[in-house]
Amino acid sequence: MSDTVKDPLQDDGSTPEDGGAVTVVDDSAAPIPAVDPRLLVREEGLKGYLTEFKRKVRGGELGSIPVVLGLIAIGIIFQSLDASFLAADSLSNISIYIAGQGIMAVGIVFVLLLGEIDLSVGSVAGVGAAIWAVLSVSHGMNDGLAVLAAIAAGALIGAFHGFFFARIGVPAFVVTLAGFLGWSGLQIWLMGSEGSINTPSGSIVENLTNYFFEDIAAAYGLALVAVLAYLASMLLDSRRRRAAQLPARPTSEIVLRTTVLAVVVFAAAYELNQSRGLPLALVIFLAVLVLTDFAVRRTTYGRQIFAVGGSTEAARRAGINVEWIRISVFTIAGTLAVVGGLFIASQSGGATKSLGAGNVLMNVIAAAVIGGTSLFGGRGKIWSALLGMLVIQSIQQGLNLLGMASEIQYMITGAVLLAAVVIDSVSRRTQKSAGRT
User: pLDDT (tens digit, 9 = 90+) per residue, 421-433?
Assistant: 777 677 667 666 6
Instruction: Tell me what pLDDT residue 63 has.
Output: 65
By C-alpha distance, which of 306, 304, 369 is closest to 105?
A: 369
Indicate the SS3 state at residue 5: strand
Indicate the SS3 state at residue 279: strand
Instruction: Tell me what pLDDT residue 409 has.
Output: 77
Instruction: Tell me what pLDDT residue 414 has.
Output: 81
Amino acid at 102: G
Instruction: Tell me what pLDDT residue 14 has.
Output: 44
Instruction: Tell me what pLDDT residue 6 has.
Output: 44
Indicate the SS3 state at residue 167: helix
CB 382 within 8 A of CB 106: yes
Nearest-angstrom CA–CA distance, 161 and 409: 31
| No. of helices (H) and no. of strands (E), the chain | 16, 6
DSSP state of 393: H
CB 48 within 8 A of CB 42: yes
Please report the sign of the dihedral spanned by the C-alpha atoms of residue 352, residue 355, residue 358, residue 359. positive
Taking 70 as the pLDDT cut, the residues of the chain under it are 1-63, 424, 427-428, 430-437
CB 179 within 8 A of CB 161: yes
Nearest-angstrom CA–CA distance, 396 and 366: 13
CB 90 within 8 A of CB 390: no
Nearest-angstrom CA–CA distance, 433 and 437: 9
Cα atoms in the Cβ-side hemisphere of radius 13 Å centred on 172: 22
